Amino acid sequence: MPGTSQAHSMASDDPFDEILKPPPNESPEAFALRVQKEEQARQISLAIDANIKAERQARKKKRIVRLLLLGQSESGKSTTLRQFQRLYTPTAFREERVLWRAIIQLNIVRSIRIILEALEHPSSPQISPHVSPKSHYRNLSDNARKHRRASNANPIASTSTDNSMYDEYFMNGSNGHHNGHISPESDPDSDSLEMYGQSTSLLNNLASLEALKMRLLPLRHIEALLVAKLVPPNEDEATQLPGQSQNNGFSHNSTSGNAYRNQEVFVRPGTTWKGALARARVHYPSAATSISREDSDQSGNVRPLSAGNLGSETADEPQEVLNSCRMDMMQLWADSGVRSLLHRRKIRLEEYPGFFLNDLERVTSLKYMPTDDDVLKARLKTVGVAEYRFEMEVSTGRETGTDWRIVDVGGSRKTWVPFFDDVDAIIFLAPISAFDQVLTEDRSVNRLEDSVLLWKSVCSNKLLANVDLVLFLNKCDILEAKLKSGIKLSRYVRTYGDRPNDMENVSKYLRGKFSAIHREYSPNPRKFYAFCTSVTDTATTAGIIASVRDMVIRQHLKQSKLM
């Protein structure tokens, strides 16, 4: 019979042969049925093969868009990235929220330390990095300033060494003086605790202040615990104080408030994260993976968004300590004398990154779990360059299935250039609220000036000539509060003149300046996209990010010659 002969003709060393071969006395009907079934199975197998092939081809064709986030330290790059994640990979974002609790704990301890150190040194010079120093900026020679500007503001563009630009756009360009940076005058030398000693204030009762400080001592212990958990053991830089390595005239000894304030905990993409993540035993879907280019030889380097090896503890010692110190912390922050000392020293803690003192009751509760807003407000400095990859989880129409690569860079601008290749768009963040502040890393440089020079070098960079630039004039909420509190833009930006010191006029003015630089310095004409943003605000940022997403996709299609 045909079936029998076919079966017998097959190689006899196949172990399935004996089992699968047709029965020797197979009837013609059974034979026909068997052949029919075999054909059906073959068709199914072919269909499966075709499916796999189609999927593979679809994956190949899948859109990969690359977005680069640029801007000075503390401009809001990582926060913008977190907004993308919150919107497009909400599951991963939610699962990571627990990890941010440790960062928030550290942020709280840091704020309290800043207050305590301001009390320790009531008569030291005004040291807030958030206010231009009284005289040092003006005392720098032009050459020294130019040198600092060149090394700080233009490291990414070899063609951009012209530092007169800030003056041109923001100063009375005619006289060439740098007197646009008029620092608010204060008289710190006359500070003493007694002069803040309002009758009800802690500062009026030094014994109770000392007792309160003693009760807050455990905060130092948990700070050390948190730093040890977050920072890899062989990482010196994280605990080194900038003032120690560079004598810039502002360095204090390590016990001073300034030194402490300059010290920031950061995370660096690297292998330690992998082990840390394993210990945390938190599941991260592939959507939230990050690959460090700096460590590209160490492939498969998967970690959560810069949050570290935290969150797995059932008994959370830092949270317990914070909980037990809550009344003292609240008393300290609410104290009228303390507030007036901080005010006089121009330490505006509310504007500092990672400020949670107004939420102490909630965030120190034992069951505290960070909200979306808390995660966006938390401060964790990025060091190095990390590429975060995710596929949009939620359906967003034609963008479904797009693979996003968002590159978030940290302070070291030397590492930016390799990422200018193959970019679809750049979001440049300029924190315009910082017009009266100086860089933490170089207190001779005004933050707005730094942003302007950086914007110019990005606009003029030839590698980016065909890349769409999106400008976020960020921290508009802080800007508005500053203007309302009476801080005048014209004291720092002379060319602002006597225009009204309100949000509408100030933002319009700054937008115009940034736009002019874009127009003048772009190698080829291109569109100018600019938004006034407060990227910590979820509601307003969602709309802006949707616009950016559409723009980036359009740009990507254009570049792929699909449009």
Ligand X SMILES: Nc1nc2c(ncn2[C@@H]2O[C@H](COP(=O)(O)OP(=O)(O)OP(=O)(O)O)[C@@H](O)[C@H]2O)c(=O)[nH]1
Q: Which stretch binds ligand X (CB under 6 A): 30-38, 73-81, 365-373, 412-420?
A: 73-81
Buried b (16+ CB within 10 A) or exposed e, 22-38: beeebeeeebeeeeeee
Q: Rule CB under 6 A: choose which of 113, 346, 447, 475 binds ligand X.
A: 475
Determine whether the annotation assigns residue 382 to a binding site: yes
Q: Which is nearer to ligand X, 443 or 556 (CB)?
A: 443
**Binding pattern to ligand X, positions 343-362, x when CB under 6 A?**
----------xx--------
From residue 398, give the alpha-carbon distance in Å to each of 131, 490, 549: 46, 46, 11
Determine whether the annotation assigns residue 474 to a binding site: yes
Name the minimum Å distance from CB 88 to Mg ion: 19
Q: Which is nearer to ligand X, 381 or 494 (CB)?
A: 381
Whole-number Å distance between alpha carbons of 425 and 466: 9
Determine whether the annotation assigns residue 316 to a binding site: no
Determine whether the annotation assigns residue 484 to a binding site: no
Q: Does 289 bind Mg ion (CB under 5 A)?
A: no
Q: Does 474 bind Mg ion (CB under 5 A)?
A: no
In the DSSP assignment, the letter for residue 125 is P
In the DSSP assignment, the letter for residue 164 is T
Strands 64-71 and 403-409: parallel
Closest CA to 225 of 108, 102, 374, 383: 102
Buried b (16+ CB within 10 A) or exposed e, 220-242: eebbebbeebbbbeebeebeebb
Q: Does 370 bind ligand X (CB under 6 A)?
A: no
Name the minimum Å distance from CB 490 to Mg ion: 31
Closest CA to 75 of 416, 431, 355, 473: 431
Q: Rule CB under 6 A: choose which of 26, 68, 77, 413 binds ligand X.
A: 77
Q: Rule CB under 5 A: choose which of 382, 457, 460, 534 binds Mg ion.
A: 382
Determine whether the annotation assigns residue 378 to a binding site: yes
Q: Does 474 bind ligand X (CB under 6 A)?
A: yes
Q: Which is nearer to ligand X, 346 or 348 (CB)?
A: 348
Determine whether the annotation assigns residue 414 to a binding site: no
Strand order in the sheet with 64-71: 290-292, 385-391, 403-409, 64-71, 425-431, 468-474, 529-532
Determine whether the annotation assigns residue 59 to a binding site: no
Joined together, the tokens standing for residue 281 give 């035993």
DSSP E strands in 260-416: the ranges are 266-267, 290-292, 381-382, 385-391, 403-409
Closest CA to 167 of 196, 145, 134: 145
478 binds, among Mg ion, ligand X, none (CB under 5 to 8 A by kind): ligand X
**Binding pattern to ligand X, positions 403-442, x when CB under 6 A?**
-------xx-------------------------------
- Containing 106, the helix (H) or strand (E) segment is helix 100-120
Q: Does 78 bind Mg ion (CB under 5 A)?
A: yes
Q: Which residues bind Mg ion (CB under 5 A)?
A: 77-78, 382
Residues annotated in a binding site:
376-382, 474-477
Q: Which residues bind ligand X (CB under 6 A)?
A: 71, 73-79, 353-354, 376-377, 379, 381-382, 410-411, 474-475, 477-478, 534-536
